[in-house]
Structure 1
């Protein structure tokens, strides 16, 4: 249903996002991680599974990385070789600029054969030597446009600073992009401003808006909070204070995330923007993983109550 929902611009899309195991993980351990992932997600009502491509973004900032960077398995390899029994479409992230045209063409063919869908992202650092531009990558994908959809990333924080995220979105739409997955949302005002400006831009250009899928992530520790900020995720001062003072940071963060999801549901419906949610689980602590599952179920029910999911 994911393909049909995006092509028909239906609201209420539900995704769940994970990172692959670390590179060098033993085959036995990879199989164990995959089995646990499948067991957890089999009971969830989701439209697709997002598998991220983990990149070292240390060159993006002068601030010290809170967690050391460790390479991860290739997301396509992990999804195709270990998650086949999870009967939902897979969305695979790919930094297009790291690959040649020929490599990207081959990768897209493999993706298409398995009914997986791509999301092209930028390179990990501004001075990275780009092999294929995003515009070239979209042209390579174009041969699959009848039977596939392609996504991109949107960043409310960037819109707050540069005020042009709506322009970026419309530009990528002209290249075939039909849905956008946001960076993790903790600042509700930033996300609302992006939606309001995108709605206005689409109306002025008489263009149907794309689907915006908001990434929602629980935060279970002070170190995770520091890492989110290092990644460029903006947490309002009151939210940070709320989390740091909470008796149970994880529980409070889930409450905040559900409030954000509820507000964004009402706001997107008011502005006629097709939308959905991507519940992200990139932590290794069992409590945080379980919280993400509970949160996915709660947001699913929220969308059902709004008449957006059956």
Structure 2
């Protein structure tokens, strides 16, 4: 069970992440998309499904967005109404700052009623008004802390610039956060540095580290690669050239993700950092969706081979 694994700091957690269908789809089409998702994921050995809250981040950068932004359905409503036949826990993202404390409180009540788990994120771009701070949001959640867990986001790229991601993680731990889902990892060194600095900080303070869940995703086109970089994901120049010149970018990124997963498994185990992986699949192309399923199964096998998941 996801709840027990996080509370006991058990390594080997495996998540799968999706975005809700686009706003404007007819209910019949939404139901069709949901049914295909359920069929695709029903045999996947995962601990929970992540459902993202899709936000327009255009104000975060002056660079032109590679794909036009289209509003998506509310993730809580979508998961509750359409994904109930997928028998795994659901993790729902929410930008806390966009909502008042009353709105967030009502949202948390409904979330808890559904036995879902929250991940609070910040506002989509700096300078936007903040109605509820992250510490305030965590305090609202704390009424359910005995029967729930709350997650947060960690960004290795931010640590490379500010060198304070370990401190941010510890601050959020003090607010009740027990696991962190990373931004997509394509720079292994950046991810390792966050882990190393967190390991050092936790040892200094003589505290147990939280669970770190690394997000990995397959990329099948130059446009998708450009979009990932627009989102702030750092792809090392040498790797970028390898991807652009490869005969099959999708196949190449799957191999890269598997190599990253294997390296992070060894790195975290050596430091006794509880960890797992989140396979993100937000593309609509069939080939990329199928690649994400393959990736999830292969990473699950890596975790089983390391003794971190039960072989079924």
**TM-score interval, smaller chain:** over 0.9
2:231 is matched with which residue? 231
1:149 is matched with which residue? 149
2:203 is matched with which residue? 203
TM-superposed deviation, 1:20: 0.1
Q: Report the Cα distance in structure 2 between the residues aligned to 1:284 and 1:238, rounded to whole angstroms.
A: 27
Q: Report the Cα distance in structure 2 between the residues aligned to 1:113 and 1:285, rounded to whole angstroms.
A: 34
| 1:108-149 Cα distance to aligned partner (Å, 9 max, x none) | 010101110000000011111111111110100000000000
2:12 is matched with which residue? 12
1:176 is matched with which residue? 176
Q: Report the Cα distance in structure 1 between the residues aligned to 2:230 and 2:242, rounded to whole angstroms.
A: 19
Q: Report the Cα distance in structure 1 between the residues aligned to 2:259 and 2:230, rounded to whole angstroms.
A: 24
TM-superposed deviation, 1:65: 0.2
Q: Superposition RMSD on alpha carbons, in Å?
A: 0.4
Q: Report the Cα distance in structure 2 between the residues aligned to 1:262 and 1:224, rounded to whole angstroms.
A: 24
Aligned length: 310
1:36 is matched with which residue? 36
1:113 is matched with which residue? 113
Q: Report the Cα distance in structure 2 between the residues aligned to 1:161 and 1:264, rounded to whole angstroms.
A: 21
TM-superposed deviation, 1:238: 1.2
Q: How does 1:47-58 map to 2 (within 5 A)?
A: 47-58=47-58
2:128 is matched with which residue? 128
| Structure 1: gaps (5+ residues) | none
1:260 is matched with which residue? 260
Alignment TM-score, normalising by the size of structure 2: 0.99
Q: Report the Cα distance in structure 2 between the residues aligned to 1:283 and 1:238, rounded to whole angstroms.
A: 24
Q: Report the Cα distance in structure 2 between the residues aligned to 1:81 and 1:238, rounded to whole angstroms.
A: 44
Alignment TM-score, normalising by the size of structure 1: 1.00
| Structure 2: gaps (5+ residues) | none
1:278 is matched with which residue? 278
SS at match of 1:118: strand
1:99 is matched with which residue? 99
Q: Report the Cα distance in structure 2 between the residues aligned to 1:99 and 1:73, rounded to whole angstroms.
A: 17
SS at match of 2:6: helix
Q: Report the Cα distance in structure 2 between the residues aligned to 1:126 and 1:225, rounded to whole angstroms.
A: 24
Q: How does 1:207-222 map to 2 (within 5 A)?
A: 207-222=207-222
Q: Report the Cα distance in structure 2 between the residues aligned to 1:272 and 1:161, rounded to whole angstroms.
A: 26
SS at match of 1:277: strand
SS at match of 1:177: coil
